[in-house]
A and B are shown apart, each in its own frame.
Chain A
Amino acid sequence: MEPQIITNGLISASSCLLMALGFALIYRTARFFHFAHGIVFTASAYCTFLLVAWLQVPLWLSLVLGTAGGTLIGVLTEICIYRNLRRRKVSSLVLLLASLGLYIVLQNVLSMIFGDRTRSIPSVWGHETITIIGARVTYVQLGTMCISLTLSFALGVLLKWTRLGRAVRAVSDNPELANISGIDSDRITVCVFAVGSALAGVAGNLAALDVNMTPTMGLGPLMMGIVAGIIGGGRGIAGIALGALLLGMAQHLGAWQIGSQWQDATAFLILLAFLLVRPEGVIGKKHRTATV
């Protein structure tokens, strides 16, 4: 197998991992499919674009502020919409539909402000490539891999060894019990949305630096993140990383063998296979639902 394909697989796996981790973190805590996570990805990139191209802010500062802007959107969706819904003890389906609506609204707001055409962040790194063991990668792609690995480790440390992490795990296990033992589960959920959205924001900015951006670019990476999370079993960072790796490799192998236009279909076929045959993921415990 060509080293280039393995490298491409690794690159898409690492950007997918960031989306998958953020999404899974929110899913585990708030227990619904946060579709508007996809717009956090897009909005961060556009925030950066706005700062760099229109307001002439230096690139490094815009990247930080752009990610912060996306994070703010993620946090606001929780505070303004989801929290109110959750207080009414609505089902996860209602939350899913609300976040789907939010995604559509925000995506169209972005395309009204910035237009539908492709934009790119003027970057200092350009598209020069370097060759590592026979595979060509750009600096941005190399950076994506490093940042994604570092952030995954950081998230692992945060969840395992800090006070906040322990509170997050308590809330995702059982919010009522966490409340009783003095943890403010609403506040923790806001923190989770902030961390998860920041991960999506980083992913969005990296993707925009690597290729370019359109207002609709968020849905694809979001779905890939969801697929990676389901393949990985949604339990633990290692599982999700494995899911992202399998998905990235499968997609690029598929692209190599049958053509890149079938990448999405390949990913979703894998998803269907997993949902039907092994819904608990590659590693993970079986769930049992009541039957007669």
Chain B
Amino acid sequence: MEYVLHILILICIYVILSVSLNLIAGYAGLLSMAHAAFYGVGAYVAALMALNLHSPFLVNMVCAVILSGLLGALVGTPSLRIRNDYFVIATFAFQVITFNVLNNWVSFTGGPMGLPGIPQPTLCGLQVSSHLGFLILVGSFCASTLLVTHRIVRSPFGRVLKAIREDEVFAQAAGKNVASGKVLVFVMGAGMAAVAGVLYAYYISFIDPTSFTVMESIFIISIVIIGGSGSLWGPVVGAVVLVVLPELLRFIGLPSSVAANLRQIIYGGLMVAFMMWRPRGFLGEYTFQRKEARE
């Protein structure tokens, strides 16, 4: 039973991550490889505050979201100047730099040893300690993320994002503020990813930099691609598929070292396959096909 709850919690965390990346990559068309950096910053801010300041869960959550949002603004700003593939490389650069800071700033982040012993969160006087409690906590955050994203993409701002994705120059010509749209969507996406990071840190109660590598970013990208970019429910489907599928490998009795490789082969292979035959994923509407910037 605990195992099933654990899987459900993981699914919820990855739904938050992929829904927020979908906002950036699927709706605004800004493919970002820095999502694990936002996730990691969220986790580390909450963990460091909980360990050093003993501040309550919600305060840590708010601080993590704000700091990660600021980082999001920093990552999003180059998109005003750098386009397409080069922007992907720029976000890759942010991802690597963030990982380097987490890994090398030993006195502050604990370096490769990570941060153990993150306390259990307390909400309204209730200490969340059981798996069920965590599922309720994570699930409610997951549901509110979906709700917020639903509101965002249905709003005029959501339409501006889609316009940026389809034809940036046209959006600008129609009087839409492309620059603020791009930066804002990064702030929102990064903030949501930080929520997932905080929940992860409290749930696992130990974090180290290896959870926030560029491979994690690519994993989140593959969830978005497989589920369908530019749709609200696509990433949910993707997260369920990509979290559950590798778990099924355990039941056929593979040793854990092979299972880890096989898990990556599955999502990498699915990524290639979907790009080959169905670039819009299961439910998506965006196929990563955009009007090339006219020279």
Contacts and interface: CB of A to CB of B under 8 A. Distances in A.
- Is chain B a partner of chain A in the same complex? yes
Interface of A: 32-33, 81, 84-85, 90-98, 100-105, 107-109, 111-112, 116, 219, 223, 226, 230, 259, 261-262, 264-265, 268-269, 271-272, 275-276, 279, 287-292
Contacts of B295: 287-290
Contacts of B83: 289
A98 B86 contact: no
B279 interface: yes
Interface stretch (B4-12, B234-242, B258-266): B258-266
Given A84-B276, A92-B84, A111-B261, 16 more contacts: A91-B290, A91-B292, A93-B290, A97-B225, A97-B275, A98-B272, A98-B276, A101-B269, A108-B262, A112-B262, A223-B92, A259-B104, A269-B93, A272-B78, A275-B81, A290-B294
Contact of B268 (A91, A101, A219): A101
5 contacts: A85-B275, A101-B222, A230-B89, A275-B81, A290-B295
A92 B85 contact: yes
Nearest to B293: A289
Secondary structure dominating the interface of A: helix
B100 interface: yes
A84 B277 CA distance: 10
A92 to B, nearest CB: 6
A262 B294 contact: no
B172 A291 contact: yes
B88 A33 contact: yes
A100 B271 contact: yes
Contacts of B93: 268-269, 271-272, 275
A269 B287 CA distance: 31
B275 A230 contact: no
Instruction: Please indicate which of the listed interface residues B92, B258, B262 has the most CB atoms of chain A within 10 Å of its own CB.
Output: B92
B89 A105 contact: no
Q: Which 8 A-B pairs have the closest CB atoms?
A: A104-B268, A101-B271, A268-B93, A101-B272, A98-B275, A105-B268, A265-B100, A108-B261
Contacts of B264: 104-105, 107-108
A85 B279 CA distance: 11
Interface in B39-94: 78, 81-86, 88-90, 92-94
Contacts of A91: 84, 288-290, 292
Contacts of A92: 84-85
A289 B295 CA distance: 5
A203 B271 CA distance: 28
A91 B265 CA distance: 24
B218 interface: yes
Nearest to A115: B257
B204 interface: no
A261 B78 contact: no
A276 B78 contact: yes
